[in-house]
Protein backbone atom coordinates (compact mmCIF):
# COMPACT_ATOMS: atom_id res chain seq x y z
CA UNK A 1 0.00 0.00 0.00
CA UNK A 2 1.33 3.40 -0.98
CA UNK A 3 1.57 5.68 2.08
CA UNK A 4 3.21 8.58 0.29
CA UNK A 5 0.06 10.69 0.40
CA UNK A 6 -0.68 10.21 4.09
CA UNK A 7 2.90 10.14 5.35
CA UNK A 8 2.94 13.90 6.10
CA UNK A 9 -0.12 13.46 8.29
CA UNK A 10 1.50 10.52 10.08
CA UNK A 11 4.68 12.52 10.63
CA UNK A 12 2.71 15.48 11.97
CA UNK A 13 0.81 13.25 14.39
CA UNK A 14 4.00 11.61 15.64
CA UNK A 15 5.66 15.00 16.05
CA UNK A 16 2.70 16.26 18.05
CA UNK A 17 2.82 13.25 20.35
CA UNK A 18 6.56 13.68 20.89
CA UNK A 19 6.19 17.29 22.02
CA UNK A 20 5.82 18.17 25.73
CA UNK A 21 2.23 18.26 26.94
CA UNK A 22 0.67 21.72 27.16
CA UNK A 23 -2.80 22.76 28.19
CA UNK A 24 -3.21 25.07 25.20
CA UNK A 25 -2.48 22.12 22.91
CA UNK A 26 -4.90 19.73 24.60
CA UNK A 27 -8.23 19.17 22.86
CA UNK A 28 -10.09 18.58 26.14
CA UNK A 29 -8.93 21.88 27.65
CA UNK A 30 -9.77 23.82 24.50
CA UNK A 31 -13.19 22.18 24.41
CA UNK A 32 -13.86 23.08 28.04
CA UNK A 33 -12.78 26.67 27.48
CA UNK A 34 -15.09 26.89 24.49
CA UNK A 35 -17.94 25.40 26.54
CA UNK A 36 -17.43 27.96 29.32
CA UNK A 37 -17.34 30.78 26.79
CA UNK A 38 -20.57 29.60 25.18
CA UNK A 39 -22.27 29.34 28.58
CA UNK A 40 -21.34 32.92 29.47
CA UNK A 41 -22.18 34.25 26.01
CA UNK A 42 -25.54 32.47 25.92
CA UNK A 43 -26.46 33.63 29.41
CA UNK A 44 -25.61 37.25 28.70
CA UNK A 45 -27.32 37.13 25.31
CA UNK A 46 -30.42 35.57 26.83
CA UNK A 47 -30.59 38.29 29.45
CA UNK A 48 -28.92 41.32 27.93
CA UNK A 49 -29.26 43.38 31.11
CA UNK A 50 -28.24 40.60 33.48
CA UNK A 51 -25.03 42.22 34.77
CA UNK A 52 -26.79 45.56 35.12
CA UNK A 53 -29.54 43.91 37.13
CA UNK A 54 -27.06 42.24 39.45
CA UNK A 55 -25.25 45.51 40.14
CA UNK A 56 -28.54 47.34 40.51
CA UNK A 57 -29.77 44.74 42.97
CA UNK A 58 -26.64 45.16 45.08
CA UNK A 59 -26.84 48.94 45.20
CA UNK A 60 -27.06 50.18 48.76
CA UNK A 61 -29.25 53.07 47.67
CA UNK A 62 -32.21 51.03 46.39
CA UNK A 63 -35.06 49.77 48.49
CA UNK A 64 -35.46 46.11 49.37
CA UNK A 65 -38.68 45.87 47.32
CA UNK A 66 -36.83 47.04 44.21
CA UNK A 67 -34.09 44.46 44.80
CA UNK A 68 -36.67 41.73 45.39
CA UNK A 69 -38.32 42.52 42.04
CA UNK A 70 -34.99 42.18 40.29
CA UNK A 71 -34.19 38.91 42.07
CA UNK A 72 -37.50 37.27 41.17
CA UNK A 73 -36.97 38.14 37.50
CA UNK A 74 -33.88 35.93 37.13
CA UNK A 75 -34.16 32.48 35.65
CA UNK A 76 -33.16 29.53 37.79
CA UNK A 77 -31.56 27.61 34.94
CA UNK A 78 -29.46 30.62 33.99
CA UNK A 79 -28.02 31.02 37.46
CA UNK A 80 -27.41 27.30 37.87
CA UNK A 81 -25.55 27.06 34.57
CA UNK A 82 -23.38 30.07 35.36
CA UNK A 83 -22.52 28.68 38.80
CA UNK A 84 -21.51 25.38 37.18
CA UNK A 85 -19.32 27.35 34.80
CA UNK A 86 -17.69 28.95 37.84
CA UNK A 87 -16.69 25.53 39.17
CA UNK A 88 -15.24 24.46 35.82
CA UNK A 89 -13.26 27.68 35.33
CA UNK A 90 -11.84 27.38 38.85
CA UNK A 91 -10.85 23.78 38.09
CA UNK A 92 -9.03 24.90 34.93
CA UNK A 93 -6.91 27.29 37.00
CA UNK A 94 -6.13 24.51 39.48
CA UNK A 95 -5.16 22.21 36.61
CA UNK A 96 -2.91 24.88 35.15
CA UNK A 97 -1.23 25.38 38.53
CA UNK A 98 -0.45 21.67 38.86
CA UNK A 99 0.71 21.54 35.23
CA UNK A 100 3.19 24.31 35.93
CA UNK A 101 4.32 22.37 38.99
CA UNK A 102 4.99 19.34 36.76
CA UNK A 103 2.27 17.03 38.09
CA UNK A 104 0.33 16.88 34.80
CA UNK A 105 2.14 15.28 31.87
CA UNK A 106 -0.69 14.01 29.66
CA UNK A 107 -4.33 14.54 28.77
CA UNK A 108 -5.61 11.78 31.07
CA UNK A 109 -4.06 13.36 34.15
CA UNK A 110 -5.31 16.77 33.06
CA UNK A 111 -8.87 15.48 32.82
CA UNK A 112 -8.65 13.96 36.30
CA UNK A 113 -7.46 17.22 37.83
CA UNK A 114 -10.21 19.18 36.11
CA UNK A 115 -12.87 16.79 37.39
CA UNK A 116 -11.36 16.82 40.88
CA UNK A 117 -11.17 20.63 40.90
CA UNK A 118 -14.79 20.94 39.77
CA UNK A 119 -15.97 18.53 42.46
CA UNK A 120 -13.91 20.27 45.14
CA UNK A 121 -15.25 23.71 44.19
CA UNK A 122 -18.82 22.39 44.17
CA UNK A 123 -18.42 20.75 47.58
CA UNK A 124 -16.88 23.91 49.00
CA UNK A 125 -19.81 26.02 47.84
CA UNK A 126 -22.33 23.44 49.07
CA UNK A 127 -20.76 23.14 52.54
CA UNK A 128 -20.45 26.90 52.89
CA UNK A 129 -24.00 27.48 51.66
CA UNK A 130 -25.36 24.83 54.04
CA UNK A 131 -23.59 26.35 57.03
CA UNK A 132 -24.74 29.84 56.08
CA UNK A 133 -28.31 28.61 55.66
CA UNK A 134 -28.35 26.90 59.07
CA UNK A 135 -26.86 29.85 60.94
CA UNK A 136 -28.91 32.46 59.09
CA UNK A 137 -32.18 30.58 59.58
CA UNK A 138 -31.44 30.24 63.29
CA UNK A 139 -30.29 33.78 64.08
CA UNK A 140 -31.94 35.98 61.49
CA UNK A 141 -35.23 36.53 59.69
CA UNK A 142 -36.31 34.75 56.53
CA UNK A 143 -36.08 38.01 54.60
CA UNK A 144 -32.45 38.45 55.61
CA UNK A 145 -31.67 34.83 54.82
CA UNK A 146 -33.22 35.07 51.36
CA UNK A 147 -31.31 38.28 50.65
CA UNK A 148 -28.02 36.67 51.64
CA UNK A 149 -28.73 33.53 49.58
CA UNK A 150 -29.22 35.74 46.53
CA UNK A 151 -26.01 37.66 47.20
CA UNK A 152 -24.07 34.45 47.71
CA UNK A 153 -25.22 32.91 44.42
CA UNK A 154 -24.67 36.10 42.41
CA UNK A 155 -21.18 36.48 43.87
CA UNK A 156 -20.26 33.02 42.62
CA UNK A 157 -21.55 33.97 39.18
CA UNK A 158 -19.38 37.09 39.07
CA UNK A 159 -16.42 35.10 40.39
CA UNK A 160 -16.94 32.48 37.69
CA UNK A 161 -16.63 35.07 34.95
CA UNK A 162 -13.42 36.37 36.53
CA UNK A 163 -12.13 32.79 36.87
CA UNK A 164 -12.83 32.14 33.20
CA UNK A 165 -10.96 35.26 32.04
CA UNK A 166 -8.05 34.45 34.33
CA UNK A 167 -7.96 30.83 33.13
CA UNK A 168 -7.84 31.96 29.49
CA UNK A 169 -4.96 34.33 30.27
CA UNK A 170 -3.01 31.66 32.16
CA UNK A 171 -3.45 28.91 29.58
CA UNK A 172 -2.98 31.10 26.51
CA UNK A 173 0.15 32.92 27.67
CA UNK A 174 1.51 30.19 29.97
CA UNK A 175 2.14 32.66 32.77
CA UNK A 176 4.44 31.95 35.70
CA UNK A 177 3.41 30.36 38.99
CA UNK A 178 3.82 33.59 41.01
CA UNK A 179 1.42 35.32 38.61
CA UNK A 180 -1.14 32.53 39.14
CA UNK A 181 -0.81 32.66 42.92
CA UNK A 182 -1.02 36.45 43.09
CA UNK A 183 -3.90 36.60 40.62
CA UNK A 184 -5.98 33.94 42.36
CA UNK A 185 -5.24 35.40 45.78
CA UNK A 186 -6.40 38.80 44.55
CA UNK A 187 -9.63 37.44 43.08
CA UNK A 188 -10.45 35.33 46.14
CA UNK A 189 -9.55 38.21 48.45
CA UNK A 190 -11.89 40.58 46.61
CA UNK A 191 -14.67 38.00 46.78
CA UNK A 192 -14.25 37.56 50.54
CA UNK A 193 -14.14 41.32 51.14
CA UNK A 194 -17.32 41.75 49.10
CA UNK A 195 -19.11 38.98 51.01
CA UNK A 196 -18.05 40.48 54.35
CA UNK A 197 -19.35 43.91 53.33
CA UNK A 198 -22.65 42.47 52.16
CA UNK A 199 -23.03 40.27 55.23
CA UNK A 200 -22.44 43.26 57.50
CA UNK A 201 -24.94 45.33 55.52
CA UNK A 202 -27.65 42.63 55.61
CA UNK A 203 -27.24 41.18 59.10
CA UNK A 204 -25.19 43.33 61.44
CA UNK A 205 -26.94 46.66 61.69
CA UNK A 206 -27.84 46.50 65.37
CA UNK A 207 -25.93 46.53 68.62
CA UNK A 208 -22.85 44.29 68.92
CA UNK A 209 -22.64 44.08 65.15
CA UNK A 210 -18.84 43.79 65.04
CA UNK A 211 -18.82 41.02 67.63
CA UNK A 212 -21.49 39.15 65.70
CA UNK A 213 -19.51 39.56 62.51
CA UNK A 214 -16.37 38.15 64.14
CA UNK A 215 -18.17 35.05 65.44
CA UNK A 216 -20.00 34.71 62.13
CA UNK A 217 -16.82 34.73 60.06
CA UNK A 218 -14.95 32.36 62.39
CA UNK A 219 -17.77 29.85 62.10
CA UNK A 220 -18.63 30.16 58.43
CA UNK A 221 -15.32 31.03 56.78
CA UNK A 222 -12.76 28.90 58.61
CA UNK A 223 -14.77 25.65 58.66
CA UNK A 224 -15.40 25.57 54.87
CA UNK A 225 -11.70 26.26 54.24
CA UNK A 226 -10.74 23.34 56.48
CA UNK A 227 -13.22 21.13 54.63
CA UNK A 228 -11.93 22.08 51.18
CA UNK A 229 -8.35 21.59 52.38
CA UNK A 230 -9.19 18.09 53.57
CA UNK A 231 -10.91 17.29 50.27
CA UNK A 232 -7.93 18.47 48.22
CA UNK A 233 -5.55 16.41 50.36
CA UNK A 234 -7.66 13.30 49.80
CA UNK A 235 -7.88 13.95 46.06
CA UNK A 236 -4.12 14.49 45.80
CA UNK A 237 -3.56 11.06 47.36
CA UNK A 238 -5.90 9.47 44.81
CA UNK A 239 -4.15 11.05 41.81
> Residue by residue, what is the 3-state secondary structure of 17-35?
HHCCCCCCCCHHHHHHHHH
What is the total residue count of the chain? 239
156: number of Cβ within 10 Å: 23
Instruction: Give the Cα-Cα-Cα angle 208, 210, 215 (nearest 5 degrees).
Output: 95
CB 92 within 8 A of CB 171: yes
Mean pLDDT of 212-235: 66
Q: What is the pLDDT of residue 216?
A: 66
The contacts found for 59-67 with CB under 8 angstroms, 24 or more apart, are: 60/201, 64/143, 64/147, 67/147
> What's CA 149's distance to the chain center, in Å?
17
The contacts found for 215-218 with CB under 8 angstroms, 24 or more apart, are: 216/135
Q: Tell me the pLDDT band of 1, cut-offs 50, 70 and 90.
A: very low
Tens digits of residue pLDDT in 185-222: 899 888 888 887 887 787 766 555 566 666 666 666 66
> What's CA 3's distance to the chain center, in Å?
48
Q: What is the pLDDT of residue 85?
A: 94
Distance CA 219, CA 135 (A): 9
Mean pLDDT of 222-232: 67
Distance CA 192, CA 201 (A): 14
CB 124 within 8 A of CB 227: yes
CB 118 within 8 A of CB 93: no
Q: Tell me the pLDDT band of 179, cut-offs 50, 70 and 90.
A: very high
Q: Could you tell me the pTM of the whole model?
A: 0.76
Q: What is the pLDDT of residue 45?
A: 72
Amino acid sequence: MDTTVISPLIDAWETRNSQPFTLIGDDIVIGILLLCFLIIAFALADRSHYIHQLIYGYSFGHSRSQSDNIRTSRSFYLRTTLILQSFISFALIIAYFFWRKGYITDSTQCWKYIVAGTVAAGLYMFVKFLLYLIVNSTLYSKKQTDAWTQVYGDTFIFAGILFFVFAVVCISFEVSLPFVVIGMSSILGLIEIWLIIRAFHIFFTKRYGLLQLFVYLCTLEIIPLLVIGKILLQLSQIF
